[in-house]
């Protein structure tokens, strides 16, 4: 009888596999770390947009060049205070409800009233006008179309909201429509055969949120997921050696930076911030922690942002002796235990960072070591990332380590203005203000004249490089694995789309 | 007391217990969330908008929207009065009704827990009985060593190893997700092996004790075969501690479910609870803790009833 039970157990365990494994070779599964738990575009827009369920008025290609989306044409008035976006005709939402000026106005007004890119733009009103939507501004703002390409400004149907105005469905106009949503782990989609553009080749696609990097690498290796985003260094190295998948790394405009509180007496002098910067071995961090030696950040804006990256700027260097000299110029001298002392005060500071990006605590530990070498005692606090804006607000922050995305919108000026404009920003300068930079950024935001923009951007990058209100450390590489046989995959450095509408299975 | 009266009394007692558990769990989880350091509005905004979009302005908007600056007792009274009307509120982070989230996730978690318990019993009972029939034999010693080894491996590592072997190398089962029954196999096995590592020893001890008893000897003496003695007497007697222990294993299961759900991208309640705590989603934490508390009560009731069914003495006593 025992034998029987054992055999039955084994048989039960092994007999389950399956039809579903080989089913639907036409479907494509995407795996990524980000969970999707809300129907709210302000919260889940980043995924809804990438999966092409909902679309923006303005689209952008991989280089960040704007192109028509749900709006076919847009222009500003002479004074730059009124923008008119002409809507595409003949578009319907997935549930058949009409795509019109009323639905767009309602969606964008909602986005404007909620935290997101639009709430930070100088918008004074959004109104519907016979097949178009009109924005009124308090001052000219040339980057407005770029904001309308952002994930928080996607257009849901009015039927995506319940009677109280709470979002309760994912209904858009995109090439894929939702067939099943299991928060927070997965979204199943089918092709939208009534799509206004070219309908996708694949019939079905699904999204799986897998929080652990190990799981994602295994999903890629086993073939359970066809496109897998954000691999950890060991998973990436392993997948490089697997024939069934291609692992690629694409530079993206995200930068690991160090925010320094310039109103703190230790860091008020730019030389102190330069000393911090010079003591950082960026090449070491880039090759040992993030494992892409070429991504050591020689300046703030990465090459992926070609209009903001200045190849002429001398790269930030690693120079321990120089760092020590700068600090002694500022009156710091080594105490008994090697930690610098000035006027009886030890150079002891707290760095705040967070674990959501696993490399950040590792980089923080490396900084602890590197700064010890120049006599700075660093304590590291790994906590929730909201501690950084909170510390900015109440002034208790010393330094913070995080990853900043300058490619949130195709035109980074909005983010740059938030970070380095007047008063600094929660994720940018703290206690540092530079009138020239603020004016130059405002000028960039107001004009679409390329020459004027280039001159002002050059001024901004030059001053940021010299003054270091934030200290760049490494640029990001986006790691992706793609199943062999899956064609047409384009990795978008701006991370606006997974490009599922373009992929197809080759032989 | 007649059997049906005793049954009703047990049901009533557990029902009362359920109400008390609900209130205590709700209040305690609320108090614990309040006691956590850091500003709740910042944490909730972080959970909602992600680090690219979250800033102090978003936190202020969240504070105003959710009324987080109201005194704590007003917030607690609101929750309790809503609970009295069976309303668990909305998730502070995602805006979805808590009851919707929990009912989906609980279903997946119960499926996983059920699969795990079933797997563990399928492994533990035959092995435990076999080992218990010959205490000190080679099988007994081998399973002891193996049990210690399995219990010592963290569920996370065991899960990854199983995936590597059965999904990546042998390609028998999927790595993660939850599309069909085949997705249940590896997570259930991961949890089930951990459970079986202990429960097979409980079975073994119970069987060994039963086999050493005088009534066992009596049953053989009165002429029952070894097989019939085991089936009619030993199994029944040994079942009591085993059934009770399976109930106790719930604690391990909840702890294991959190990790296993994360590794296998399983949309369960344990994983959701951890996220809710990080995101300071008080409504979700209270709702989830409440649900888990009530499940404990229900499980205790089931164990009581099962023991009553197995052991005739409790029925007449």
Q: Which of B19, B10, B36 lies closest to B277, judged by CA?
A: B36
Average pLDDT over residues A390-395: 93
Provide the shortest C-alpha distance from residue B96 to chain A (in Å): 7
Q: Given an 8 Å threshold on Cβ–Cβ distance, is A224 in contact with B176? A: yes
For residue A286, the model assigns a pLDDT of 94
Q: Given an 8 Å threshold on Cβ–Cβ distance, is A386 in contact with B175? A: no
Q: Which residues of A touch B190 (CB under 8 A)?
A: none
Provide the shortest C-alpha distance from residue B174 to chain A (in Å): 6
Q: Collect all residues with Cβ–Cβ distance below 8 Å to B215 and sequence separation of at least 6.
A: B233
Average pLDDT over residues B198-211: 87
Q: Which of A130, A217, A239, A115 lies closest to B63, judged by CA?
A: A115
Least CB–CB distance from B265: residue in A1, A208, A383: A208
Q: Output A401 or B216, whichever has higher pLDDT.
A: A401
Average pLDDT over residues B202-219: 84
Nearest CA in chain B to A162: B96
Q: Are A293 and A283 in contact (CB under 8 A)?
A: yes
In angstroms, the CA A281 to CA B66 distance is: 45
Nearest CA in chain B to A402: B51
Cα of first residue to Cα of last residue in chain A, in angstroms, is 51
Least CB–CB distance from B59: residue in A8, A39, A389: A389
Q: Which residues of A touch B119 (CB under 8 A)?
A: 13
Lowest-pLDDT choice from A288-302, B236-250, B262-276:
B236-250
Q: Which residues of B touch A116 (CB under 8 A)?
A: 49, 53
* pLDDT > 90? residue B242: no
Q: Given an 8 Å threshold on Cβ–Cβ distance, is A212 in contact with B189? A: no
For residue A57, the model assigns a pLDDT of 97
Q: Which of B45, B52, B100 to mutate to test binding with chain A, by most A CBs within 10 Å of its CB?
A: B52
Q: Are A408 and A117 in contact (CB under 8 A)?
A: yes
Provide the shortest C-alpha distance from residue A20 to chain B (in Å): 7
For residue A404, the model assigns a pLDDT of 94
Q: Given an 8 Å threshold on Cβ–Cβ distance, is A214 in contact with B263? A: yes
* pLDDT > 80? residue B6: no
In angstroms, the CA A405 to CA A494 distance is: 9
Average pLDDT over residues A173-177: 97
For residue A88, the model assigns a pLDDT of 96
Q: Given an 8 Å threshold on Cβ–Cβ distance, is B185 in contact with A16? A: yes
In angstroms, the CA A352 to CA A378 distance is: 10
For residue A407, the model assigns a pLDDT of 87
Q: Given an 8 Å threshold on Cβ–Cβ distance, is A387 in contact with B38? A: yes
Nearest CA in chain A to B57: A115
Using CA atoms, how far residue A11 sits from A6, A16, A288, in Å, is 8, 9, 47
Q: Collect all residues with Cβ–Cβ distance below 8 Å to A328 and sequence separation of at least 6.
A: none
Tokens of A366: 């490396």
Q: Which residues of B touch A220 (CB under 8 A)?
A: none
Query: Strand order in A227-229's β-sheet?
Result: A176-182, A186-191, A204-209, A28-32, A227-229, A470-483, A245-260, A399-405, A348-353, A377-382
Q: Which residues of B touch A185 (CB under 8 A)?
A: 177-178, 265-267
Q: Which residues of A touch B93 (CB under 8 A)?
A: 37-38, 43
Q: Output B2 or A346, whichever has higher pLDDT.
A: A346
Q: Quick one: what percent of chain B has pLDDT higher than 90?
A: 20
Provide the shortest C-alpha distance from residue A379 to chain B (in Å): 19
Q: How confident is the model at residue A12 (pLDDT cuts 50, 70, 90)?
A: very low
Q: Which of A200, A201, A194, A172 lies closest to A57, judged by CA?
A: A172
Q: Quick one: what percent of chain A has pLDDT higher than 90?
A: 76
Q: Given an 8 Å threshold on Cβ–Cβ distance, is A384 in contact with B180? A: no
DSSP-assigned letter for residue A119: G
Q: Given an 8 Å threshold on Cβ–Cβ distance, is B182 in contact with A403? A: no
Q: Given an 8 Å threshold on Cβ–Cβ distance, is B119 in contact with A210? A: no
Q: Which of A52, A50, A47, A48 lies closest to A34, judged by CA?
A: A47
3-state secondary structure of A28: strand
Q: Give the pLDDT confidence of A349-373 residue by residue, as tens digits.
A: 999 999 888 889 999 999 999 999 9
* pLDDT > 90? residue B237: no
In angstroms, the CA B246 to CA B30 distance is: 30
In angstroms, the CA A122 to CA A136 distance is: 9
Q: Which of A367, A406, A402 lies closest to A385, judged by CA?
A: A402
In angstroms, the CA B6 to CA A476 distance is: 67
3-state secondary structure of A296: strand
DSSP-assigned letter for residue A95: T
Tokens of A113: 């009233």
Average pLDDT over residues A84-113: 95
Q: Which residues of A touch B265 (CB under 8 A)?
A: 31, 185-186, 208-211, 215
Q: Given an 8 Å threshold on Cβ–Cβ distance, is B168 in contact with A221? A: yes
For residue B314, the model assigns a pLDDT of 67
In angstroms, the CA B50 to CA A85 distance is: 29
Q: How confident is the model at residue A319 (pLDDT cuts 50, 70, 90)?
A: very high
Q: Which of A16, A42, A115 to mutate to test binding with chain B, by most B CBs within 10 Å of its CB?
A: A115
Beta-carbon count within 10 A of A410 CB: 22
* pLDDT > 50? residue B291: yes
> ∠ CA(A108), CA(A113), CA(A114), 5° rounding?
100
Q: Which of B99, B100, B176, B259 to mutate to test binding with chain A, by most A CBs within 10 Å of its CB?
A: B176
Q: Which residues of B touch A222 (CB under 8 A)?
A: 163, 167-168, 171, 174-175
Q: Are A206 and A188 in contact (CB under 8 A)?
A: yes
In angstroms, the CA B124 to CA A365 distance is: 45
Q: How confident is the model at residue B315 (pLDDT cuts 50, 70, 90)?
A: low
For residue A9, the model assigns a pLDDT of 44
Q: Which of A347, A360, A369 lies closest to A401, judged by CA?
A: A360
Q: How confident is the model at residue A138 (pLDDT cuts 50, 70, 90)?
A: very high
Provide the shortest C-alpha distance from residue B129 to chain A (in Å): 8
Q: Which residues of B touch A212 (CB under 8 A)?
A: 262-263
- Mean residue pLDDT of chain A comes to 90
For residue A355, the model assigns a pLDDT of 85
Q: Which of B2, B15, B3 lies closest to B308, judged by CA?
A: B3
| Contacts of the segment A448-454: beta carbons below 8 A, 24+ positions apart | A448/A142, A453/A307, A454/A307
Q: Which of B42, B45, B51 to mutate to test binding with chain A, by most A CBs within 10 Å of its CB?
A: B51
Rounded to two decimals, what is the model's pTM? 0.86
In angstroms, the CA B141 to CA B126 distance is: 15
Highest mean pLDDT among A42-46, A259-263, B154-158, B264-268: A259-263
Q: Which of A17, A36, A38, A20 lies closest to A204, judged by CA?
A: A20
CA B189 to chain centroid: 15
Q: Which residues of B touch A218 (CB under 8 A)?
A: 160, 163-164, 167-168, 175-176
Q: How confident is the model at residue A7 (pLDDT cuts 50, 70, 90)?
A: very low
In angstroms, the CA B182 to CA B174 distance is: 7
Nearest CA in chain A to B41: A386
In angstroms, the CA A223 to CA A486 distance is: 12
Least CB–CB distance from B56: residue in A6, A385, A393: A393
Q: Given an 8 Å threshold on Cβ–Cβ distance, is A389 in contact with B123? A: no
Q: Are B92 and B281 in contact (CB under 8 A)?
A: yes
**What sign has the CA pseudo-torsion B255, A358, A42, A226?**
negative
Q: Which of A396, A443, A453, A406 lies closest to A427, judged by CA?
A: A406
Provide the shortest C-alpha distance from residue A330 to chain B (in Å): 33
Using CA atoms, how far residue A26 sits from A10, A299, A340, in Å, is 33, 44, 63
Q: Given an 8 Å threshold on Cβ–Cβ distance, is A13 in contact with B163? A: no
* pLDDT > 60? residue A3: no
For residue A22, the model assigns a pLDDT of 39
Q: How confident is the model at residue A232 (pLDDT cuts 50, 70, 90)?
A: confident
Buried b (16+ CB within 10 A) or exposed e, A378-394: beeeeebbbbbbbbbbe
DSSP string, A60-71: E-TT--EEESSE
**Residue in the structure block whose two tokens are 């217990």:** B17
Highest mean pLDDT among A7-11, A449-453, B270-274: A449-453
Beta strands in A119-193 (DSSP E): 123-129, 132-137, 176-182, 186-191
Q: Which of A264, A416, A266 lies closest to A330, judged by CA?
A: A266
CA A203 to chain centroid: 29
Average pLDDT over residues B213-241: 81
Q: Given an 8 Å threshold on Cβ–Cβ distance, is B42 in contact with A43? A: no
Provide the shortest C-alpha distance from residue A78 to chain B (in Å): 32
Q: Given an 8 Å threshold on Cβ–Cβ distance, is A9 in contact with B123? A: yes
Q: Give the pLDDT confidence of B145-162 residue by residue, as tens digits.
A: 999 998 888 888 999 999
For residue B316, the model assigns a pLDDT of 55
Q: Which of A194, A76, A196 lies closest to A137, judged by CA?
A: A76
Least CB–CB distance from A389: residue in B55, B91, B104: B55
Q: Give the pLDDT confidence of B78-104 residue by residue, as tens digits.
A: 888 888 888 888 899 888 899 988 888
Average pLDDT over residues B4-15: 80
Nearest CA in chain B to A41: B49
Q: Given an 8 Å threshold on Cβ–Cβ distance, is B61 in contact with A115? A: yes
Q: Which residues of A touch B125 (CB under 8 A)?
A: 5
Q: Which residues of A touch B168 (CB under 8 A)?
A: 218, 221-222
Least CB–CB distance from A5: residue in B38, B53, B126: B126
Least CB–CB distance from A224: residue in B123, B174, B189: B174
| Contacts of the segment A97-103: beta carbons below 8 A, 24+ positions apart | A97/A157, A97/A158, A97/A159, A97/A171, A99/A70, A99/A155, A99/A157, A99/A173, A100/A128, A100/A131, A101/A128, A101/A129, A101/A130, A101/A131, A101/A132, A101/A133, A102/A128, A102/A158, A103/A155, A103/A157, A103/A158
Provide the shortest C-alpha distance from residue A439 to chain B (in Å): 23
3-state secondary structure of A407: coil
Count of A-B CB contacts under 8 Å: 183
In angstroms, the CA A121 to CA B200 distance is: 64
CA dihedral B128, B134, B137, B138 (to 10 degrees): -40
Q: Output B232 or A486, whichever has higher pLDDT.
A: A486
- Return the CA Rg of chain A: 25
> Which run of H or of E encompasses A122?
none
Lowest-pLDDT choice from B155-159, B199-203, B211-215, B265-269:
B211-215
Q: How confident is the model at residue A299 (pLDDT cuts 50, 70, 90)?
A: very high
Average pLDDT over residues A331-347: 93
In angstroms, the CA A112 to CA B127 distance is: 64
């Amino acid at each position: 009888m025992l034998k029987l039970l054992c055999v039955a157990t084994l048989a039960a365990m092994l007999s389950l596999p399956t039809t579903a494994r080989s089913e639907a070779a036409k479907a494509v599964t995407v795996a990524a770390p980000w969970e999707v738990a809300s129907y709210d575009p302000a919260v889940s827009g980043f995924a809804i947009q990438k999966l092409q369920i909902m679309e923006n008025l303005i689209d952008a290609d991989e280089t960040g060049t704007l192109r028509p989306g749900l709006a076919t044409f847009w222009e500003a008035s002479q004074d730059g205070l009124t923008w008119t976006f002409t809507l595409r005709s003949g578009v319907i939402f997935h549930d058949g409800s009409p795509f019109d000026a009323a639905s767009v106005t309602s969606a964008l007004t909602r986005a404007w009233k909620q935290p997101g890119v639009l709430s930070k733009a100088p918008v004074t009103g959004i109104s519907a006008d016979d097949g178009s939507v009109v924005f009124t501004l308090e001052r000219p703002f040339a980057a407005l179309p770029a904001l309308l390409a952002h994930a928080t400004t996607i257009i849901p149907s009015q039927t995506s909201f319940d009677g109280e105005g709470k979002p309760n469905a994912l209904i858009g106009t995109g090439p894929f429509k939702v067939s099943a949503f299991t928060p927070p782990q997965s979204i199943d989609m089918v092709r939208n055969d009534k799509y206004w553009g070219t309908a996708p080749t694949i019939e079905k696609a699904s999204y799986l949120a897998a929080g652990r990097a190990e799981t994602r690498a295994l999903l890629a290796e086993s073939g359970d997921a066809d496109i897998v985003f954000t691999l950890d260094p060991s998973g990436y190295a392993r997948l490089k050696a697997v024939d069934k998948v291609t692992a690629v790394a694409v530079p993206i405009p995200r930068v690991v930076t160090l925010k320094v509180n310039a109103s703190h007496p230790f860091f008020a002098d730019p030389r102190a911030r330069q000393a911090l910067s010079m003591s950082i071995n960026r090449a070491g961090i880039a090759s040992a922690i993030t494992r892409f030696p070429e991504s050591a950040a020689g300046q703030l804006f990465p090459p992926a942002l070609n209009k903001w990256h200045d190849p002429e700027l001398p790269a930030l260097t690693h120079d321990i002796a120089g760092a020590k000299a700068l600090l002694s110029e500022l009156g710091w001298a080594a105490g008994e235990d090697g930690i610098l002392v000035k006027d009886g005060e030890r150079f002891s500071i707290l760095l705040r960072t967070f674990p959501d990006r696993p490399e950040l605590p590792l980089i923080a530990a490396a900084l602890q070591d590197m700064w010890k070498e120049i006599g700075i005692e660093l304590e590291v606090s790994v906590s929730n990332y909201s501690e950084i804006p909170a510390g900015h607000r109440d002034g208790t922050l010393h330094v913070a380590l995080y990853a900043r995305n300058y490619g949130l919108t195709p035109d980074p000026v909005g983010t740059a203005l938030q970070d380095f404009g007047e008063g600094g920003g929660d994720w940018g300068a703290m206690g540092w203000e530079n009138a020239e930079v603020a004016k130059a950024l405002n000028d960039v935001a107001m004009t679409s004249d390329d020459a004027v923009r280039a001159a002002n951007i050059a001024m901004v990058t030059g001053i940021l490089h010299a003054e270091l209100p934030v200290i760049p450390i490494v640029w990001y590489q986006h790691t992706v694995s793609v199943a062999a046989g899956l064609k047409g995959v384009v990795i978008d450095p701006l991370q606006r789309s997974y490009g599922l509408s373009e992929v197809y299975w080759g032989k | 007391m007649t059997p049906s009266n005793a049954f009703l009394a047990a049901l009533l007692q557990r029902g009362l217990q359920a109400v008390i558990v609900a209130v205590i769990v709700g209040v305690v989880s609320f108090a614990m969330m309040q006691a956590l350091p850091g500003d709740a509005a910042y944490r909730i905004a972080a959970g909602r908008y992600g680090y690219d979009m979250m800033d102090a302005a978003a936190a202020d908007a969240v504070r105003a929207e959710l009324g987080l600056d109201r005194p704590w007792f007003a917030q607690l009274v609101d929750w309790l009065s809503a609970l009295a009307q069976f309303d668990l509120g909305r998730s502070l982070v995602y805006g979805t009704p808590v009851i919707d989230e929990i009912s989906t996730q609980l279903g997946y978690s119960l499926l996983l827990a059920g699969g795990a318990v079933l797997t563990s019993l399928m492994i533990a009972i035959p092995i435990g009985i076999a080992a218990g029939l010959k205490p000190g034999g080679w099988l007994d010693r081998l399973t002891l060593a193996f049990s210690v080894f399995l219990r010592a491996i963290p569920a996370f590592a065991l899960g990854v190893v199983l995936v590597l072997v059965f999904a990546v190398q042998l390609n028998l089962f999927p790595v993660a997700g939850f599309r069909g029954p085949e997705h249940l196999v590896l997570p259930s096995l991961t949890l089930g092996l951990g459970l079986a590592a202990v429960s097979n020893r409980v079975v073994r001890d119970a069987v060994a004790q039963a086999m050493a008893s005088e009534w066992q000897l009596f049953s053989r003496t009165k002429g029952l075969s070894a097989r019939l003695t085991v089936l009619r007497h030993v199994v029944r007697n040994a079942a009591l501690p085993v059934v009770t222990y399976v109930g106790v294993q719930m604690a391990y299961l909840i702890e294991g479910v959190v990790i296993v759900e994360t590794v296998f991208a399983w949309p369960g309640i344990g994983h959701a609870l951890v996220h809710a705590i990080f995101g300071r989603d008080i409504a979700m934490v209270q709702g989830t803790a409440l649900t888990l508390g009530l499940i404990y009560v229900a499980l205790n009731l089931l164990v009581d009833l099962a023991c009553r069914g197995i052991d005739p003495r409790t029925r007449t006593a």
